[in-house]
């Protein structure tokens, strides 16, 4: 009986190891780059097919020289603990006191593409906080490398905005973030919209959501479904709003106010201002912000029949 139990445990462990293979650590392997983890798909050794690559860039709290820290949250943790991803997951570690460097990231990606069976048309990048900045920095410098990217509670260089507009990009930030002010994401969203109306930009600003709460996104199907729908060989021209998130998804009970690909939002001390763009009307603006036309008319002193002008600023409830 004891022998049977032992045999059963061994079989169980073998199955688990197959379903969630352990990532491998790589140190001092790539010149002018970072130490990193590689998590391979469960069937990588059993096939000859090529796989998409997901690059995860962590926030400041995981910086240092202890690679184990990178497993604390994010896509690497998700792929080893909970979710089978049909992709190669790369999770580098940024040294303490430094920020993500786009050229060093490129050196790592080049190394991965040379040593693993990667689909170079399906490189995805996702990062949070400092990693959100790093994501926008890398995509902004090397947009032709990336199929799609997600930046959580970060910010970007406004000079990169037009290059960022070339790549499907999802920016998410909580309005109650005390570590990185939401205005950092709003500024880069506005700059991208000014380039080409942000047709490839999806953005969500979540009321009542703080900084660390966004780590939950790495456990949501929406992240992976959205990334995997993109490829450089079949680039969509306009994003779909079929995949969405709300403030409630991140533990907030406050009403969610979001932006989409054609928004241009400004914030003052306590009043939110929306800048009218081509194609907007009161009904569309009300729907975007979960309010009514009557409320918009009341706080702006206008009528339902009022014609909105491009560039006109209206208050939001």
pLDDT tens-digit profile of 182-232? 999 999 999 998 887 668 999 999 999 999 999 999 999 999 999 999 999
Cα three-residue angle 316-216-218, rounded to 5 degrees:
110
> What is the pTM for the complete model shown?
0.76
For residue 134, is pLDDT > 70?
yes
Walk me through the domains of the chain, giving residue ranges and CATH numbers.
Answer: 23-263 (3.40.50.1820), 268-317 (3.10.350.10)
For residue 256, is pLDDT > 70?
no
What confidence tens digit (pLDDT) does each residue in 53-111 have? 999 999 999 999 999 999 999 999 999 888 999 999 999 999 999 999 999 999 999 99
Backbone dihedral angles phi then psi of residue 29, each to the nearest 5 degrees? -100, -30
pLDDT of amino acid 138: 98
Q: For the chain, list the strands marked E by DSSP.
A: 24-26, 35-39, 51-57, 88-93, 118-128, 148-152, 169-174, 201-206, 265-267, 272-275, 313-316
Q: How confident is the model at residue 285 (pLDDT cuts 50, 70, 90)?
A: confident
Does residue 297 or residue 103 have the better pLDDT?
103
Does residue 30 or residue 306 have the better pLDDT?
30
């Amino acid at each position: 009986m004891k022998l049977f139990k032992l045999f059963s445990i061994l079989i169980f462990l073998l199955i688990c190891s197959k379903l969630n293979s352990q990532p491998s650590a790589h140190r001092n392997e790539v010149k002018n780059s970072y130490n990193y983890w590689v998590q391979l798909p469960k069937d990588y050794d059993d096939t000859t097919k090529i796989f998409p690559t997901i690059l995860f860039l962590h926030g400041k709290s995981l910086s240092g020289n202890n690679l184990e820290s990178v497993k604390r949250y994010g896509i690497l943790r998700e792929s080893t603990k909970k979710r089978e991803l049909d992709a190669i997951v790369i999770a580098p570690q940024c040294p303490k006191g430094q920020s993500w460097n786009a050229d060093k990231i490129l050196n790592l990606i080049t190394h991965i593409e040379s040593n693993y069976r990667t689909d170079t048309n399906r490189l995805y990048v996702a990062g949070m906080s400092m990693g959100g900045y790093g994501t926008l920095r890398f995509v902004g410098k090397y947009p032709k490398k990336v199929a799609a990217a997600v930046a959580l509670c970060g910010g970007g260089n406004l000079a990169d905005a037009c290059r960022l507009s070339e790549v499907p990009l999802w920016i998410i930030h909580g309005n109650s973030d005390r570590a990185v002010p939401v205005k950092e994401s709003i500024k880069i969203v506005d700059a991208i919209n000014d380039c080409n109306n942000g047709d490839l930009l999806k953005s969500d600003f979540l009321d009542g959501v703080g900084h660390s709460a966004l780590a939950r996104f790495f456990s949501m199907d929406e992240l992976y479904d959205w990334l995997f729908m993109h490829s450089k060989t079949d680039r969509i021209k306009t994003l779909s709003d079929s995949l969405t998130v709300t403030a409630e998804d991140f533990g907030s009970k406050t009403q969610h106010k979001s932006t989409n690909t054609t928004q241009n939002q400004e914030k003052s001390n306590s009043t939110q201002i929306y800048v009218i763009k081509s194609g907007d009307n009161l009904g569309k603006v009300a729907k975007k912000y979960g309010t009514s036309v009557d409320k918009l008319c009341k706080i702006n002193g206008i009528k339902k029949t009022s014609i909105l002008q491009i560039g006109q600023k209206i208050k939001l409830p």
